[in-house]
Amino acid sequence: MTSPAFLGALCLALSCLGGAHGFWRSDDLEWSKLIMVHHWPATVCQEVARHCKDPPNYWTIHGLWPDKSEACNRSWPFNPHEIKDLLPDMKMYWPDLLHPSNSSLQFWSHEWKKHGTCAAQLDALNSQRKYFGKSLDLYKALALTSMLQKLGIEPSTDHYYQVSDIRDALVTVYKVVPKVQCFLLEKGQEVQLLGQVELCFSKDLQLQNCSHAAEPAARRQEAWPNLGLHVCNDGPVLYPPLNETKL
């Protein structure tokens, strides 16, 4: 006869397994695509000038986000030791622009807890090392900064681009439709500012079109509630250079 102690231990073991690996089975946590989110430091820092310090002059990673789920396993904490070998690239390509004094650990922890624990349903992303490592790989393969330069789209203070021209140019390179995001115009601003570019991947990590449907503001703003990102309106957009940005 099976003892109550054995049944209790078995139940506990199964609960632990469910917490570690079965958390994505809930319909509420299902997702269909991954979004590689790049942001332009000059624009971000112009919007929150008091926070930035020595921002880089190239597009950086905001995150790799499943499109419909967040915080899938709150019992799976961020552990920086698991990505120790990635830290040089993380600091270079995935910096916390708004809180540079904390070595970006808080930012990466946020990205892991909110997005990485959901992306982990894929074997290719089912650990912190895999999630951050693959994010870096995708970022490097996309090479957004150099691609824009090759397309003749470079930061400028005296030249406005058309949003459709930037989007169409990226389509010619990546063969999928990206989502181009800007900061809302404020009083005194003449044109919207290019702030973020999203490129989307299927679950087998192949590029696919991004939807242009608006998502809830909280999802767009992430950990930075003061940022007013939105899908760019058709029309002119400024792609500001870093050295002209008032920091």
DSSP string, 3-47: -HHHHHHHHHHHHHHHHHH-GGGSGGG----EEEEEE-HHHHHHH
Collapse the DSSP code of 165 into the 3-class scheme (helix H, G, I; strand E, B; otherwise coil) and give the result: helix
30 catalytically annotated: no
Which is catalytic among the residues 115, 154, 222, 244?
115
154 catalytically annotated: no
The answer to whether residues 136 and 30 touch, using CB atoms and an 8 Å cutoff, is no
Which is catalytic among the residues 38, 39, 51, 62?
62
186 catalytically annotated: no
- The phi-psi region of residue 135 (left if phi > 0; otherwise alpha if psi is between -120 and 50; otherwise beta) is alpha
DSSP string, 207-235: EEPPP-S---HHHHHTT-TT--EEEPPSS
Which is catalytic among the residues 111, 159, 215, 244?
111
Q: Report, as residue numbers or ranges, the catalytic residues.
A: 62, 111, 115
